[in-house]
């Protein structure tokens, strides 16, 4: 039988790609070398070329200069999310740092350059750790203009209009409260203006400018519970729908007279395009998730990152003129050439309040009874989708006869704004009730073994896994928590300063809701945990400090509970070092196989 490393993809990608202005090269961040570095590959196919990287930093975002001669990119150290900005020649060379001052959260705009390439737009909390300003860097004169957001708003820049007059940005209060802001760059002392202030709140997330600068495209839930694609016209301040499916529109780009967008249809991405108000017939794409999408300036070619349950993330090209899809990379590991990967089945079952809970259920070959891993996604505002999960962990466990159930409980995205908001200020409440119903559902399946159910998750999923072990009365066989918070109060207190409003909205205010946060914390109920537990933590984690895991592990070991605790000194919230990631998931696989056999 293939070993775990036989299921590991050859390399991984950051969810960001950039197409050169002439549409001949794709830039991306991949960790083929063991670290996330900047690479380019020809659109027609060929050998990727490493462009830039650092021994101690991971490349995150990238963008081409308008003339195609250089790229800018951001990088952080060990997952600390303190990004610095660099530029590098497209032909290769030593990166030159653009950012100045100390470490902070610098975020490149989605399209960071103006049409001339003179001005670069990014956001940073360098002035005040609690506030994310917009900055316009004049690369010729090495001067900056700074734009400060309104109170409790976090700015994320979209880009400068093609005519150079307007700077567009998103203003975040939470994932369900996003507004569009415009700044008139021809005004020597402009104020950011919220152009969606009269539209009753909700999601107004700007995506890209119209090529003629007449307006911009955005994603919005203005017309219902799901996110639609729309166009905002500057002349009459009108908002016109482009696509209004009964699912969320997720990604949107424009090239010339062509629009392309992706729809999250029950977790799977579907692509749609329109040219001159006429819908285009696109070729089918594999059943998976499009995680990044960019369109050539003439609208003829789209490049995407696509991840599927039976094939890891790949770069792919979509020829819109001739209706052709082709992979640009091949990261399939050896095991997928000798075993049949298993695609999940979409299942539903009732929640306590009458909702339907959606889940992906992976059933191993053979009659069973099979042990089951209950795998909980992070977020909580995220979604379990048909992707090649956990560096091949799902497929490896399936090969060993272990089923995987991955639910989309209350708070998950993809099922409307109301469903997403169910978990707001209710962590460890409605979500735990949904997980209880998931276990009950697993008990009804004739091919599962109720005495051999384990639970695992990362980040919020780690919190949920710990909550299951501590608060649901089932004979858990094992648990795994990867950078999962054990104490919601200290988690809220330690969150990055720019997250203050977001944390108060989604999790709770640590100053006024301390008692509730503690009552819902796994550490408060640690004395009820008896199952063997594996805890993984990054020492540099800026979101879930190591003390979160330290305090839980100490409590459990005092009671004699079997706890394995691995701290990665060079990691943050998740894995940026490929060797660390592979080692961690290999150890998790061995732990689960041992406990569930």
pLDDT digits (tens, 9 = 90+) for 49-72: 999 989 888 899 999 999 999 999
261 and 272 Cβ atoms separated by less than 8 Å: yes
More confident: 543 or 362? 362
Q: How far apart are CA 378 and CA 361, in angstroms?
A: 18
For 371-407, the pLDDT digits (tens) are 999 999 998 889 999 999 888 999 999 999 999 999 9
287 and 297 Cβ atoms separated by less than 8 Å: no
Q: How confident is the model at residue 21 (pLDDT cuts 50, 70, 90)?
A: very high
| C-alpha closest to that of 181 among 214, 145, 157 | 157
| Residue 212 CA: distances (Å) to CA of 141, 165, 419 | 28, 12, 37
Q: How far apart are CA 370 and CA 591, in angstroms?
A: 17
| Residue 315 CA: distances (Å) to CA of 64, 71, 254, 305, 579 | 18, 19, 19, 5, 22
Q: Is the pLDDT of residue 495 over 80?
A: no
| C-alpha closest to that of 475 among 501, 503, 443 | 443
Q: How far apart are CA 305 and CA 269, in angstroms?
A: 11
Sign of the C-alpha dihedral computed for residues 375, 381, 384 and 387 taken in this order? negative
Tell which phi-psi region holds residue 237, choosing left (phi > 0), alpha (psi between -120 and 50) or beta: left
For 70-111, the pLDDT digits (tens) are 999 999 986 778 899 999 999 989 999 998 888 888 999 999
**DSSP class of residue 248?**
E
For 508-530, the pLDDT digits (tens) are 888 899 999 999 999 999 999 99
In the predicted model, what is the mean pLDDT of residues 458-487?
A: 95
- Across the strands, what pairs with 77? none
- Ranges of H-type helices in 148-306: none
Q: Where is 467: in which H helix or E strand? A: helix 460-471
User: What pLDDT is attached to residue 2?
Assistant: 77
User: What pLDDT is attached to residue 35?
Assistant: 86
Structure tokens at 461: 């999923």
User: What pLDDT is attached to residue 497?
Assistant: 78
What is the secondary structure of 177-206 as a DSSP string? EEEEEEEETTSSS---EETTTTTTSSBEEE
What are the backbone dihedrals phi and psi of residue 437, each rounded to the nearest 5 degrees, phi first?
-65, -30
User: E strands along 464-544, which residues?
Assistant: 478-482, 533-538
478 and 533 Cβ atoms separated by less than 8 Å: yes
Q: How far apart are CA 184 and CA 239, in angstroms?
A: 20
Q: Is the pLDDT of residue 499 over 80?
A: no
Q: How confident is the model at residue 597 (pLDDT cuts 50, 70, 90)?
A: confident
User: What pLDDT is attached to residue 448?
Assistant: 97
Q: How far apart are CA 1 and CA 221, in angstroms?
A: 48
Longest dimension (CA), the chain: 72
Mean of per-residue pLDDT scores for the chain: 93
Q: Is the pLDDT of residue 543 over 80?
A: no
Q: Which domains does the chain have, with CATH numbers?
A: 342-596 (3.40.50.1820)
pLDDT over 70 percentage in the chain: 100
In the predicted model, what is the mean pLDDT of residues 293-302?
A: 95
Q: Is the pLDDT of residue 353 over 90?
A: yes
In the predicted model, what is the mean pLDDT of residues 253-275?
A: 95
Structure tokens at 284: 């089918």
What are the backbone dihedrals phi and psi of residue 267, each rounded to the nearest 5 degrees, phi first?
100, -25
| Residue 554 CA: distances (Å) to CA of 387, 455, 490, 523, 551 | 35, 21, 16, 10, 5
In the predicted model, what is the mean pLDDT of residues 42-55?
A: 92
């Amino acid at each position: 039988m293939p070993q775990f490393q036989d299921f590991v993809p050859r390399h991984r990608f950051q969810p960001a790609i950039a197409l050169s202005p002439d549409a001949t090269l794709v830039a991306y961040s991949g960790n083929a070398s063991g670290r996330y570095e900047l690479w380019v590959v020809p659109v027609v196919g060929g050998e990727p070329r490493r462009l830039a990287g650092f021994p101690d930093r991971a490349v995150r975002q990238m963008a081409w200069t308008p003339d195609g001669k250089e790229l800018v990119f951001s990088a952080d150290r060990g997952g600390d999310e303190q990004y610095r900005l660099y530029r590098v020649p497209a032909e290769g060379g030593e990166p030159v740092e653009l950012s100045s001052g100390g470490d902070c959260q610098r975020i490149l705009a989605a399209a960071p350059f103006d049409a001339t390439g003179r001005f670069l737009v990014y956001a940073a909390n360098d002035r005040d750790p609690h506030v994310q300003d917009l900055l316009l860097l004049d690369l010729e004169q090495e001067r900056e203009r700074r734009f400060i957001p309104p109170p409790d708003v976090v700015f994320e820049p979209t880009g400068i209009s093609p005519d150079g007059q307007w700077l567009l940005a998103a203003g975040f209060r939470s994932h369900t409260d996003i507004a569009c802001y415009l700044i008139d760059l021809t005004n020597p002392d402009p104020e950011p203006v919220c152009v969606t202030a009269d539209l009753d709140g909700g999601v107004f997330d700007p995506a890209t400018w119209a090529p003629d600068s007449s307006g911009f495209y955005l994603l919005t839930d203005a017309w219902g519970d799901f996110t639609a694609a729309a166009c905002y016209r500057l002349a009459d301040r009108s908002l016109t729908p482009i696509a209004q499916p009964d699912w969320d529109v997720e990604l949107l780009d424009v090239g010339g007279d062509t629009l392309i967008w992706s729809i999250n249809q029950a977790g799977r991405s579907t692509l749609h395009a329109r040219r001159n108000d006429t819908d285009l017939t696109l070729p089918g794409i594999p059943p998976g998730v499009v995680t990044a999408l960019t369109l050539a300036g003439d609208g003829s070619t789209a490049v995407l990152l696509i991840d599927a349950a039976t094939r890891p993330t790949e770069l792919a090209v979509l020829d819109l003129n001739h209706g052709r899809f082709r992979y640009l990379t091949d990261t399939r590991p050896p095991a997928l050439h000798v075993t049949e990967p298993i695609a999940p089945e979409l299942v539903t079952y009732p929640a306590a309040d009458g909702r339907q809970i959606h889940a992906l259920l992976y059933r191993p070959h053979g009659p069973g009874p099979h042990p089951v891993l209950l795998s909980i996604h992070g977020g909580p505002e995220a979604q379990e989708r048909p992707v090649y999960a956990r560096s091949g962990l799902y497929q490896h466990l399936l090969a060993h006869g272990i089923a995987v159930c991955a639910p989309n409980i209350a708070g998950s995205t993809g099922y409307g704004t109301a469903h997403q908001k169910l978990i707001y200020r209710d962590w460890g409440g409605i979500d735990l009730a949904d997980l209880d119903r998931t276990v009950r559902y697993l008990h009804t399946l004739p091919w599962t073994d109720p005495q051999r159910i384990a639970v695992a998750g990362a980040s919020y999923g780690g919190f949920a896994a710990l909550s299951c072990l501590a608060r649901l009365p089932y004979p858990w066989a094992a648990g795994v928590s990867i950078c999962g918070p054990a104490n919601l109060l200290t988690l809220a207190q330690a969150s990055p300063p720019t997250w203050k409003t977001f944390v108060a909205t989604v999790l709770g205010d640590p100053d006024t809701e301390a008692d509730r946060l503690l009552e819902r914390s796994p550490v408060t109920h640690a004395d009820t945990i008896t199952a063997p537990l594996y805890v993984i933590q990054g020492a540099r984690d800026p979101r879930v400090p190591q003390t979160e895991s330290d305090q839980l592990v100490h409590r459990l070991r005092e009671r004699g509970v079997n706890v394995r605790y691995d701290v990665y000194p060079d990691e943050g919230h998740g894995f940026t070092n490929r060797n660390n990631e592979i080692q961690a998931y290999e150890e998790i696989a061995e732990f689960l196989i041992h406990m569930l056999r």
